[in-house]
Amino acid sequence: MTIAQQFTSTQEKYLEYDFEARKLRRNEAINKEIARKNLLDMKKILEEHHVNFFLLYGTVLGALREKDFISHDTDTDIGIFEKEKANLIESIPSLLDAGFTLIRTKFPDDLVTFMREDEYIDIGIFTKEKHALKEYYTYQGNLIDLHFLDTLEEIEFLGEKFYVPSSTELFLEKNYGKDWRIPCKDEPAMNLGYKNSYYRLKRMFLRTALGKKLKPLVKKLLGRH
């Protein structure tokens, strides 16, 4: 049985969630107060079930740059390794009892999403895979170089200790560019791997002085690629 079949009444193997409808009914920006409580409560439950997790993407970016969640972010991102999956599954009844709702799962059960008070947390479950002869940690096509997750670092965030990818500033530079310290809306993490080289080069160009001038034209010409 899939995670969705174990913990919801659905007959489908995986759960979908209408995030577009959510955008229409509320301010898209994250509610920091609720997000803080959700993450801290989930941390306590996961640790009680021996689930070691680490912060990811915009959540790491906010933790280092703002010492808080990013105001224009929309969710919380954390990750675990495949070896932690059984413990995560054991923790789900406790998460449900704490008021979290399982709203989304993705084939092959390597992404689960929990929501409470209309704020949600994505949990990516990482395995190792080869892409173009190079091995990465991956879930749902998200690729992270092995050295960032083979060892983890601890940081202080929300008054607690959290694990984050090692060489954290380099991790952020890889995913957001060298100017990751400058807040920039609507520029999510850029995935690694050769398939995404075009998108990464496009973003780098649009951040140059010439690129900023040509941005409307470039977006019009290349926005669908």
pLDDT of residue 191: 58
Model confidence, pTM: 0.83
pLDDT of residue 220: 58
pLDDT of residue 59: 97
Residue 79 · residue 54 · CB < 8 Å: yes
The domain made up of 3-177 has a fold known as Beta Polymerase; domain 2 (3.30.460)
Domain extents in the chain: 3-177
Residue ranges in the chain whose pLDDT is less than 50: 193-200, 203, 223-225
Upstream peptide bond of 108 is cis (omega within 30 degrees of 0): yes
pLDDT of residue 225: 36
Select from 83, 61, 88, 69 the least CA-distant residue to 30: 69
pLDDT of residue 218: 53
pLDDT of residue 187: 52
pLDDT of residue 146: 97
Contacts by 7-14, CB closer than 8 A, 24 or more apart: 7/92, 7/93, 7/96, 7/102, 8/102, 13/107, 14/105, 14/106, 14/107, 14/109
